[in-house]
């Protein structure tokens, strides 16, 4: 008990702290600004600004290709729409980043449940575009898989962190079944490339969680068998792989993208002066990186690559001192998802990866896809929020990388043991 303060006539007493008292909105914003990674936010805004300029450069090409004899689109049609979607996406980003870590986890679980349910409905009520049934129209068209990606990383981190409470829980089996179910639903669309991104994030998080190598080897062996079987049984994947290794023609999208990317040389043809982009399909979305190369040059493309690398490294540095296993896994999963999608898109443009309808995060034009990416960034900022005045007693990801077998689970169990003995 605390000693009672003596009463002094005329003295003003400080108001007592009221547990559970609500902070003003301004105080909450100040705390948010102090706790978030402002460098990460700056890099994200830089890429979004660059994307706005790139979409303005690519918009005339896409508008010209999509114009018909009866309808002529404004050359900046996609640029104006991109500005509107970016405004909505920024509201999503900042709104989600204001959440606490616990509420970000709850939001991820709710979104994952809803999007997984919609994914079941896509084969029945989905809208077919370019031979693929991936979209659902509810006032606006969107791909449930786009919103499922960040939610998947959150849910997977939540499942894997259960072992902190009970090491005997079959989290590897549960996470594998969930990933396999999503994969089956995606391949029905067909969307094999998107499933590979989900599988890659699953693999990164499983390795980081320190799953036993024997079990992991069995699962990975089964995955390789299914991947091999997919090549022979799944026409969509076989055609894309054969086209990639067999070499395309001058009319292939990937070949056109590569030629457009290199056409500007090191310094580019100049803003609005690119010519090859006019024959490039999906110039404002899948092949925006090629438009950047033609109009602004390979040097600017290099800065784009460095910006993505900086975001990945910044998040990993932020997680070095993270003690919460859920936050460690969720942060790594989200940044793996973001970086994986970015580099797959850029490798496709460089003709180093099979064609995949995957946008360049924060840069490409997109409605629901832009909102989904900003949702992922908002969750990432919320999960990596940290009081700068609190010092960690362990090295989080640093400890994890410094130990061999056992991974994060061994590190986290050691922390729990220390706390019990203390």
Q: Look up the domain containing 102 and give its range.
A: 37-65+74-386
More confident of the two residues 223 and 178: 178
Task: Write out the two tokens for 255.
Answer: 């070949």
Identify the residue whose tokens are 């803003």.
271
Q: Is residue 326 part of a domain?
A: yes
Residue 176: exposure state from Cβ atoms within 10 A (0-12, 13-18, ≥19): middle
pLDDT digits (tens, 9 = 90+) for 350-389: 888 777 778 899 999 988 889 999 999 999 999 998 877 6
Q: Is residue 402 part of a domain?
A: no
Cα–Cα dist 233/220, whole Å: 19
pLDDT at 412 over 50: no
Residue 131: exposure state from Cβ atoms within 10 A (0-12, 13-18, ≥19): exposed
Show the 3-state SS of 95-111.
HHHCCCHHHHHHHHHHH
Q: Is residue 214 part of a domain?
A: yes
Mean per-residue pLDDT over the chain, rounded: 81
Residues 303, 374, 256: CA angle, nearest 5 degrees: 50
Residue 71: its pLDDT value, please? 81
Q: Is residue 235 part of a domain?
A: yes
pLDDT at 87 over 80: yes
pLDDT digits (tens, 9 = 90+) for 150-189: 999 999 999 998 887 777 888 888 998 999 899 889 888 8
Beta carbons of 354 and 344 less than 8 angstroms apart? no
pLDDT at 239 over 50: yes
Q: 214-229 burial, b for 16+ CB within 10 Å, e for fewer?
A: eebeebeeebeeeeee
Identify the residue whose tokens are 């090859």.
276
Mean pLDDT in residue range 242-256: 61
Identify the residue whose tokens are 């939001």.
107
- Lowest-confidence range among 26-35, 43-52, 95-104? 26-35
Q: Which of 167, 169, 190, 187 is nearest to 179 (CA)?
A: 187
Beta carbons of 299 and 291 less than 8 angstroms apart? no
Q: What is the DSSP string of 176-189?
A: HHHHHHHHHHHHTT
Mean pLDDT in residue range 132-143: 81
Max distance between CA atoms of the chain, in angstroms, equals: 92
pLDDT at 12 over 60: no
Residue 13: its pLDDT value, please? 44
More confident of the two residues 20 and 260: 260
Residues 345, 347, 349: CA angle, nearest 5 degrees: 75
Cα–Cα dist 312/334, whole Å: 10
Answer left, alpha or beta for residue 270, where phi above 0 means left and psi between -120 and 50 means alpha.
left
pLDDT at 86 over 90: yes
Q: Is residue 366 part of a domain?
A: yes
Mean pLDDT in residue range 72-82: 90
pLDDT over 70 percentage in the chain: 79
Residue 194: exposure state from Cβ atoms within 10 A (0-12, 13-18, ≥19): buried
Residue 72: its pLDDT value, please? 82
3-state secondary structure of 141: strand
User: Which H or E run includes 137?
Assistant: strand 132-137
Task: Write out the two tokens for 363.
Answer: 């840069």
Per the structure, the count of domains in the chain is 1
User: Cis ω on the peptide bond leading into residue 190 (within 30° of 0)?
Assistant: yes
């Amino acid at each position: 008990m605390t000693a009672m303060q003596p009463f002094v006539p005329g003295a003003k007493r400080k108001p007592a702290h009221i547990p559970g008292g609500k902070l003003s909105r301004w105080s909450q914003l100040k705390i948010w600004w102090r706790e978030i990674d402002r460098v990460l936010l700056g890099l994200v805004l830089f890429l979004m600004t660059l994307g706005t300029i790139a979409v303005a450069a690519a918009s005339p090409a896409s508008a010209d290709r999509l114009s018909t004899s009866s309808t002529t689109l404004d050359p900046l049609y996609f640029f104006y729409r991109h500005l509107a979607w970016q405004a909505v996406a920024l509201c999503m980003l900042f709104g989600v980043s204001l959440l606490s870590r616990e509420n970000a986890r709850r939001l991820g679980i709710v979104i994952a449940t809803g999007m997984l349910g919609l994914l079941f409905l896509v084969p029945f009520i989905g809208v077919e575009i370019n031979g693929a049934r991936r979209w659902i129209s509810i006032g606006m068209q969107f791909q449930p898989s786009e919103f499922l990606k960040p939610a998947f990383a959150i849910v997977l981190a939540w499942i894997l962190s259960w072992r902190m409470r009970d090491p005997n829980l079959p989290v590897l089996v549960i996470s594998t079944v969930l990933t396999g179910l999503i994969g089956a639903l995606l391949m029905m669309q067909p969307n094999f490339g998107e499933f590979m991104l989900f599988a890659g994030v699953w693999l990164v998080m499983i390795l980081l969680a320190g799953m036993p190598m024997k079990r992991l080897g069995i699962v990975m062996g089964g995955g390789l068998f299914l991947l091999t079987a997919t090549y022979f049984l799944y026409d969509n994947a076989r055609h894309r792989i054969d086209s990639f290794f067999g070499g395309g023609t001058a009319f292939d999208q990937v070949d056109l993208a590569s030629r457009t990317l290199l056409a500007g040389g090191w310094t580019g043809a100049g803003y609005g002066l690119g010519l090859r982009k006019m024959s490039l399909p999906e110039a404002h979305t899948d092949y925006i990186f090629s438009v950047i190369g033609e109009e602004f040059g390979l040097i600017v493309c290099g800065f784009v690559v460095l910006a993505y690398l900086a975001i990945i490294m910044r998040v990993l540095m932020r997680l070095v001192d993270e003690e919460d296993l859920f936050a460690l896994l969720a942060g790594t999963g989200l940044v793996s998802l973001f970086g994986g999608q970015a580099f797959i898109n850029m490798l496709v443009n460089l003709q180093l990866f099979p064609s995949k309808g995957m946008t360049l995060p924060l840069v490409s034009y997109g409605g629901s896809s832009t909102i989904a990416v900003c949702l992922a960034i908002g969750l990432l900022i919320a999960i990596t929020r940290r009081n700068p005045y609190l010092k960690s007693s362990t090295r989080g990801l640093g400890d994890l990388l410094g130990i061999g077998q056992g991974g994060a689970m061994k590190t986290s169990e050691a922390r729990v043991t220390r706390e019990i003995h203390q």
